[in-house]
Structure 1
Amino acid sequence: MLEQNIEQNKVYDAAIVGAGPAGVSCAVWLARLGLAPVLLDAAAEVGGLCRRNPFPEDWNASLPGVSGAQVADNLARSLELAGVPLRLSCRVHSIRRETGPRAGQEAGREAGQQTGQQPGEPAGEQVWQGGAAFKVACGADSTLLSCRHVVLASGVRARGLARAELAPAGRILTGPGEHIVAQDFRGLRVAVLGGGDNAFENALYVAERGAASVRVHARSVRAQQQFVRRLAPSQLAVGPYTVDPASLSVDGRVYDMLLVFYGWEPCVDFTEGLDLRRTPAGFVASDAATAQTSCDGVYAIGEVTQRQHPCVVTALADGVTAAKAIQARIEHAGRPWVEWGSSSVGPEASWTPHTSFT
């Protein structure tokens, strides 16, 4: 896919960080709603984790048999058809909030210039007149992009094993994906660390591909019983365990490879200046109805929030939720849609409607 032109001097309605299913869905919806999004991603291709998933997306009822890479290609095609400005290989370094009345006035003035509005002319309903405005520093040259809203769709990365760098190169694999498929496990003794679906599914995968032995070490078992039942009792150790990466040993037993499935952590290193509230698990807390975070004008969607069961379908839905919430703010003179109403975080957080649109 060809990258669409980015206008550095333009004030975008929303800068979306992350070109996975959630980010692409939000960008496409915003564009088709007549708004001006810009999409940024540190990767060289569109698709997020889908791009690295070699297996069929059979959980997506609308696309049976389609691979993760094909889903990623479809996402890229959708961006192209919607004409969404896109910048790949563009890491976001920081997001700075422009505060005070002048920021809102400047955003409104620039919006008027972009829509052909004359100075002093009343704004049409599509023109944003105030509220939060942001500067996003991105890319190798730290280009500054201006936007009225920010959407965090930056996804997650697999949690690693402490001191994994002490292990021989290539002997510890972290998280699911194409690197597991590329590995030859024939004749190897493999320890799988973790108690969730990914750990058990990959243990079964490794066993089917000729490993000499496979043993799952889990402090607790959270995986689906359909996976757990397929392992022999001797292949599962439940309870605390000690790992020595340097010797590739778990509780003193030596292996040829360690596969680590310790779950996920959000990719939000660039958001330090936004003071975002987090869930107990460390993900970005957001309102269920609008995807807005505790920082006014900032939305979070997809796996960075763990708002819903993480998958392509729920990520796409999250993107629509944020796009419609942003449209509502812009078309109603920037009046806040919700405000954070509790010190709690996560699904139990209380959100209070701030303004009724009538």
Structure 2
Amino acid sequence: MRVFVNYQTRDEPFVAQLIDRLLCEQLGESAVFRDTRSIEIGREWQTELWGSLSRCEVLLAIIGPKWDAPGPDGRRPYDNPDDFVRQEIAFCLGRNITVVPVLVGDKTERPLLRADHLPPDIAGLADRQYDRISSRRGEYDVQRVVDKVLTLLGVEARPEPVGRDGTVALVGIDRFDRTTTDDQRAAAVAEVRTAVERAALDARLDGCVIEDQLGGARVFVPATTSPVRVITRFADNLRTMLDHGGVHRVRLAVECGRLGGPGPDAADAAVRLLSQPVLDSILDQATKARVALVLSPAGYAAMVLDNPKWIDSSTYLPADDGRCWVHLPGYPAPPGLRKSPAPAEDAQPVASAAATSRSVVFNIRDSKVGDQYGGDRIEGGVHHHYGSR
């Protein structure tokens, strides 16, 4: 065991997950300990935890804005001598194991630690050289921290391909008016950011990166997690969070592909989806909708039509002459839209860029064409039907 990832579950768990994943890619899973991943079911967890801690060379203490926030009883987590985060840090400090504080957030969100504010057994944490991960450069900063840990361990990083495959979910707050003040905008963005973080955690989007963007947030989900989880559990969780605790409505654009590197960029495609004017009229009619999910034709074919067991395609309708597909979680269908008329018999099926790259053609004209459901897959001259007569 070389690296132990120490963090509060209520405080920036995504950073811990991402650091864990990147270190595992470089060192192997057996060399990195993170509680929920490393302890197998049925094992005696305290034995596993303390055994791994005693063998580690570096402890990374992930410290975000909520790390020292008082709980309902008014006590900070580490005021409790039995708090495991505190015990793990104290254990390593007492045995001269390298401890690296990783501060998450800018200086106003996450100030420097002060020794006189910490219990004596972890006061030395304030004297350790730290690194910082900002909300605006999260992915870059996380990679820098990982690179420094590898250097500390004397490990040469394995080269990575340019760009990363996965799913981009772009969340934008639906329209501010001219009377909205800067403070009101900032409060709205903070509210939505909290809802996005909680929704992603509950949807178990392991290893995702959440960054502030476009008056909302951008979530990058690695390709190890199915995009179906993003347009189902994450979208539904986000609606629930905003229903219960918020006053704002959001637009959610989801696109699969590569983030960065040569060729089409999934993040750029998501930005274009989020700015579709048709969403204005849809949300004006759907007054109780909290989330408007929009997909590209290729995304609709790959995520919705390819997964009839998990997704009811009838709740998605084409908009703007088929340039995008819209779904409102909690609604049977987006108001103001209708199914496209069946194409003429001599019309050619529309092939998406994603479909072409897989030598697969999707018919995205309609949810039902004749006796076939739209989106039938045509591969090697064989129809793969998703519906019946």
The structure with higher relative contact order (CA 8 Å, sep 6+) is 1
TM-score if structure 1 supplies the norm length? 0.27
- TM-score normalised over the length of structure 2: 0.25
Q: Which has the higher helix share?
A: 2
